[in-house]
Structure 1
Amino acid sequence: MGVMSDGRKAVQLFRDALANRRARSELAGRLAALTPLERGHYKIAVYFADSKVNMYQIRQWYKPLAELSQTYPVVVLARAPTAATQLFEESPLDVAYVRTVTALESTLEEQDIRIVFYVNQNAKNFQMFRYGRCWHVFINHGESDKMYMTTNQFKAYDYAFIAGDAARERLTRALWDYDLERRALVIGRPQADHYAGRLPYTPDERTVVLYAPTWEGDREAAAYGSIATHGVALMKALLASPRHRVIYRPHPRSGVVDHAYGHANRQIIQAIEAANHADPSAHHVFDEGMDLGWQLAAADVAIVDISAMVYDRLAAGKPLLITRPVNPNAEIDTAGYLQACEWLSADHAANIIAETERVLHDPETVGRLEHWSHHYFGDTTPGETTKRFHAAVDTLMERWESFAEREARTGSATDPLAGTTAAVEAGRAGA
Structure 2
Amino acid sequence: MGLRQDLRRGIRLVKDVMRNRKAQGKLAEALAAQPPLEPHHYRVGVYFADGKVNLYQMRQWYKPLAELSKRHPVLVLSRASGAALAMLRESPLPVAYVRRVVDLERVIHEQDLHVVFYVNQNAKNFQMMRYGRRWHVFINHGESDKMYMTTNQFKAYDYALIAGDAARARLEKVLWDYDFDKRAIPIGRPQADHYSGTLPYTPDERTVVLYAPTWEGDRGAAAYGSIASHGVALVTALLATGRHRVVYRPHPRSGVVDHEYGVANRAIIDAIAAVNAADPGARHVYDDGPELGWQLSAADVAIVDISAMVYDRLAAGKPLLITRPANPAAVIDTSGYLGACEWLNAAPDPATGADAGASMLARVSEVAEDPEARARLGYWVERYFGDTTPGATTARFHDAIDHLMAEWERFAALHADDEEVDDHDEEGEADEDELG
Give, in whole Å, the separation in 2 of the partners of 1:305 and 1:288. Answer: 17
Superposed counterparts of 1:37-56, under 5 Å: 37-56=37-56
Give, in whole Å, the separation in 1 of the partners of 2:68 and 2:166. Answer: 25
How far off its partner does 1:20 sit? 2.1
Contact 1:46 1:117 in 2 (8 A): yes
Asked if 1:403 is matched to 2:373, the reply is: no
Give, in whole Å, the separation in 2 of the partners of 1:286 and 1:23. Answer: 26
Give, in whole Å, the separation in 2 of the partners of 1:10 and 1:204. Answer: 47
Partner of 2:199: 199
How far off its partner does 1:339 sit? 0.3
Larger deviation, residues 26-35 vs 232-241: 26-35
Larger deviation, residues 295-304 vs 1-10: 1-10
Say which SS state the counterpart of residue 191 (structure 2) adopts.
helix
Give, in whole Å, the separation in 2 of the partners of 1:269 and 1:4. Answer: 24
Superposed counterparts of 1:23-422, under 5 Å: 23-347=23-347, 349-350=356-357, 351-408=359-416, 411-417=417-423
How far off its partner does 1:22 sit? 1.8
- 1:378-413 deviation per Cα after TM superposition (whole angstroms, max 9, x unaligned): 1111111101110110110010000001112xx111
How far off its partner does 1:2 sit? 4.3
Give, in whole Å, the separation in 2 of the partners of 1:59 and 1:367. Answer: 31
Give, in whole Å, the separation in 2 of the partners of 1:300 and 1:381. Answer: 20
Larger deviation, residues 331-340 vs 365-374: 365-374
- 1:344-385 deviation per Cα after TM superposition (whole angstroms, max 9, x unaligned): 111154123321222123233122211111110111111111
How far off its partner does 1:266 sit? 1.2
Structure 1: runs of 5+ lacking an equivalent: 419-431
| TM, length-normalised to structure 1 | 0.94
Larger deviation, residues 88-97 vs 260-269: 260-269
How far off its partner does 1:176 sit? 1.2
Give, in whole Å, the separation in 1 of the partners of 2:64 and 2:34. Answer: 25
Larger deviation, residues 9-18 vs 261-270: 9-18
Contact 2:345 2:360 in 1 (8 A): no
Identical counterparts, % of pairs: 68
Say which SS state the counterpart of residue 58 (structure 1) adopts.
helix
Give, in whole Å, the separation in 2 of the partners of 1:371 and 1:59. Answer: 28
Give, in whole Å, the separation in 2 of the partners of 1:275 and 1:260. Answer: 23
How far off its partner does 1:197 sit? 1.3
Contact 1:75 1:95 in 2 (8 A): yes
Contact 2:317 2:374 in 1 (8 A): no
How far off its partner does 1:343 sit? 0.6
How far off its partner does 1:6 sit? 4.0
Partner of 1:426: none
Give, in whole Å, the separation in 2 of the partners of 1:359 and 1:374. Answer: 21
Say which SS state the counterpart of residue 29 (structure 1) adopts.
helix
- 1:39-60 deviation per Cα after TM superposition (whole angstroms, max 9, x unaligned): 0110000000000111100000
- 1:188-218 deviation per Cα after TM superposition (whole angstroms, max 9, x unaligned): 0000000011101111111110000001011
Contact 2:185 2:400 in 1 (8 A): yes
Contact 1:238 1:352 in 2 (8 A): no
Give, in whole Å, the separation in 2 of the partners of 1:302 and 1:213. Answer: 10
Give, in whole Å, the separation in 2 of the partners of 1:228 and 1:103. Answer: 43
Q: How many residues align?
A: 416
Give, in whole Å, the separation in 2 of the partners of 1:359 and 1:336. Answer: 20
Contact 1:239 1:245 in 2 (8 A): yes
| TM, length-normalised to structure 2 | 0.93
Shift in CA distance, 156/6, structure 1 to aligned 2, threshold 3 Å: farther
More relative contact order in 1 or in 2 (CA 8 Å, sep 6+)? Answer: 2
- 1:50-89 deviation per Cα after TM superposition (whole angstroms, max 9, x unaligned): 0011110000000000010011000100000111111111
- Partner amino acid, structure 1, of 2:420: T
- 1:273-320 deviation per Cα after TM superposition (whole angstroms, max 9, x unaligned): 121122221111111100001000000000000010000000111111
Say which SS state the counterpart of residue 178 (structure 1) adopts.
coil
- Partner amino acid, structure 2, of 1:210: L
Give, in whole Å, the separation in 1 of the partners of 2:371 and 2:95. Answer: 48
Contact 1:160 1:185 in 2 (8 A): yes
- Partner amino acid, structure 2, of 1:374: E
Contact 2:212 2:304 in 1 (8 A): yes
Runs of 4+ aligned residues of structure 1 deviating over 6 Å after TM superposition are none
Give, in whole Å, the separation in 2 of the partners of 1:24 and 1:272. Answer: 35
How far off its partner does 1:9 sit? 3.4
Give, in whole Å, the separation in 1 of the partners of 2:307 and 2:15. Answer: 28
Say which SS state the counterpart of residue 380 (structure 1) adopts.
coil
- Partner amino acid, structure 2, of 1:64: P
- 1:324-359 deviation per Cα after TM superposition (whole angstroms, max 9, x unaligned): 011110111111100000111111541233212221
Larger deviation, residues 348-357 vs 49-58: 348-357
Q: CA RMSD in A?
A: 1.3
How far off its partner does 1:4 sit? 4.1
How far off its partner does 1:30 sit? 2.4
Partner of 2:428: none
How far off its partner does 1:26 sit? 1.9
How far off its partner does 1:262 sit? 1.1
Give, in whole Å, the separation in 1 of the partners of 2:378 and 2:275. Answer: 34
